[in-house]
Amino acid sequence: MRSAARYRDPRSTLSASLLCVLLTAVTGVHGLSNVSIDIPLAVATGTTVNMSCRYDLQSDMLYTVKWYKGSEFFRYVPKEMPPIAVFGDLGAKVETNQSDANRVVLKDVQPNHTGKYRCEVSGDSPSFNTVMVAGYMHVASLPNGDPQLRIEKTRYAVGDTVRGNCTVPSGNPPANVTWTVNGTPVNSSFTLKIVDKNDNQQQMTIAGLDFETMQDNFRNGILHIVCQANVFHLYQRTADVLLKEERPRLASVLGTRESSYIGNAAKNTAEYFYITAITTLLLCSLR
């Protein structure tokens, strides 16, 4: 026979569980929810970065907030004194006097700090609800200088091919280059990423331009060519050049003052046809 002290009626356990559910529904008591992370998509090398982890504890009490990049580098436990603990090389970058249960501030970030960051929030007993969220941050070494644009000539006629290149100083990640001709996008003919001999983590970008001009390309006899270099929203520089249309001189049929020039080739051709016509007339008359 089971002892009364050890026996528990399953119906009473079920009733208690239902009662808890009903109380939660009636009183609106809930646990940890709405956890989100806010970190910048990209920052420049050497800058200070603010990261935040937002959450709604509702009926829970906060047990701990932990931050990871691979391994844990920051922990906040309100019941401990001091509440903040940091770990590893990344933990040494934490500004502890500016960080708290919702925010972590990192100083002097470097390219090796690029990666996925995770925030883990846990409620206190009895639930110990735990939620983890993540975000990715790039730390960019920006190019030191402006893009340089080179074009073969300064004048082009309709039908000519415009060739040139745009060179952007080294960076990590390397810059993206786009072209426009009088505001119209034009694809690069090639793009090269060349490793910097002084820093193999950085690359110089060279983008080529190669397109055949048409009458519609010129605006008032001008081609405005723009090379734009971008590294996220952190580096946005342009280089541009104005090219003039080279217009051929037309031979005048009527010999007007506005267009009276006839080149040597045109003169020779006219003289040839004139002599041929006279010779033909003389031969016909002799017959």
Assess if residue 11 is contained within a domain: no
Give the residue with greater pLDDT, 93 vs 8: 93
Quote the CA–CA distance of 253 and 260 in Å, as a whole number: 8
State whether 212 and 134 are in the same domain.
no
Confidence (pLDDT) at 127: 80
Residues of the domain holding 211: 148-245
State whether 110 and 177 are in the same domain.
no
> For the segment 98-146, what is each residue's pLDDT rounded down to a tens digit?
999 999 999 999 999 999 999 999 998 888 889 999 999 999 999 999 9
- Mean of the pLDDT values across residues 20-40? 65
pTM summary value: 0.70
State whether 76 and 131 are in the same domain.
yes
> Phi/psi zone of residue 12: left (φ > 0), alpha (ψ -120 to 50 degrees), beta?
alpha
Assess if residue 9 is contained within a domain: no
State whether 136 and 154 are in the same domain.
no
- Mean of the pLDDT values across residues 204-216? 93
Assess if residue 5 is contained within a domain: no
Q: Tell me how far the alpha carbon of residue 39 is from its chain's centroid.
A: 16
Quote the CA–CA distance of 220 and 217 in Å, as a whole number: 10
Give the residue with greater pLDDT, 21 vs 11: 11
Assess if residue 18 is contained within a domain: no
Which candidate, 162, 158, 163, 164, places its Cα nearest to that of 214? 158
State whether 83 and 101 are in the same domain.
yes
Residue where a domain terminates, one of 140, 164, 192: 140
Q: Please give the share of the chain, as a percent, with pLDDT higher than 90.
A: 65
Assess if residue 2 is contained within a domain: no
Give the residue with greater pLDDT, 145 vs 14: 145
Give the residue with greater pLDDT, 172 vs 279: 172
User: Largest Cα–Cα distance in the chain?
Assistant: 150
> For the segment 248-257, what is each residue's pLDDT rounded down to a tens digit?
655 544 444 4
State whether 118 and 171 are in the same domain.
no
Confidence (pLDDT) at 33: 85
Cα-based torsion angle of the residue sequence 103, 34, 116, 229 in order, rounded to the nearest 10 degrees: -90
State whether 197 and 222 are in the same domain.
yes
State whether 125 and 159 are in the same domain.
no
Give the residue with greater pLDDT, 2 vs 223: 223
DSSP letter assigned to residue 141:
B
Q: How confident is the model at residue 247 (pLDDT cuts 50, 70, 90)?
A: confident
Residue type present at position 45: T
Assess if residue 201 is contained within a domain: yes
State whether 112 and 155 are in the same domain.
no
Say whether pLDDT at 38 is over 80. Answer: yes
Residue where a domain terminates, one of 89, 121, 140: 140
Between the CA of residue 137 and those of 38, 52, 98, what are the distances in Å?
10, 13, 20
State whether 231 and 200 are in the same domain.
yes
Confidence (pLDDT) at 262: 31
Strands 49-56 and 42-44: unpaired
Assess if residue 230 is contained within a domain: yes
What CATH number has the domain bearing residue 191?
A: 2.60.40.10
**Total structural domains in the chain?**
3
State whether 119 and 218 are in the same domain.
no
- Mean of the pLDDT values across residues 50-75? 94
Q: How confident is the model at residue 287 (pLDDT cuts 50, 70, 90)?
A: very low
Q: Please give the share of the chain, as a percent, with pLDDT higher than 70.
A: 76
Assess if residue 241 is contained within a domain: yes
